[in-house]
Amino acid sequence: MNKSISETKTSEKKIIKEVSFVEKGLLLNSLTQQELLKTTKDLNKTIKELTKTLKVLEKHEFLTLHKNKWKLIGYNILLGMLFAIGTVLWFLLLSWLTFNFFKDSTILNQFVQNQLKVRQFDIGDIREKVRNDLSKPAIQTGSKVQTGSGQE
């Protein structure tokens, strides 16, 4: 009897061990499945967000523009022309505004006159020389043309 009681106790212990191992495995599997389920839900959410973003990008003009190389070339040429025209117009406006701002400036006029005096540059003398050279008749000698002052 003692043997049968001890055998039953031993067999019960074995059964309890086996059941505990099975339950431990089932618990571990359950926890793993829960983590996998959370990860799967997160991945699904991320994939949905990425799909929405891709749909927005597909509608974007940049991608539709680059599907045809001739459209791309035309677009870049047009942008270059517009940039050039805009640059020229802004420089014209800037120069016109600068001219109108400084044309009656006494300080600027005084500065220019001082610079002409320092450099001893007289515009009147140059005008007289040009008038004298133009008023003298041209003399032809051979294949060379000489002015009245003898300069070639």
Domain assignments of the chain as residue spans, ordered by start? 1-59, 64-103, 106-135
More confident residue, 138 or 49: 49
Residue pLDDT, tens place only, 72-88? 888 899 999 999 999 99
Q: What does the pLDDT read at residue 57? A: 80
- Asked if residues 57 and 63 have their Cβ atoms less than 8 Å apart, the reply is yes
Beta bridge partners of 146: 139
Give the burial class of 58: count Cβ atoms within 10 A of its Cβ; 0-12 exposed, 13-18 middle, 19 or more buried.
exposed
pTM for the full model? 0.33
- Asked if residues 149 and 138 have their Cβ atoms less than 8 Å apart, the reply is no
pLDDT at 100 over 90: no
Q: Tell me how far the alpha carbon of residue 114 is from its chain's centroid.
A: 47
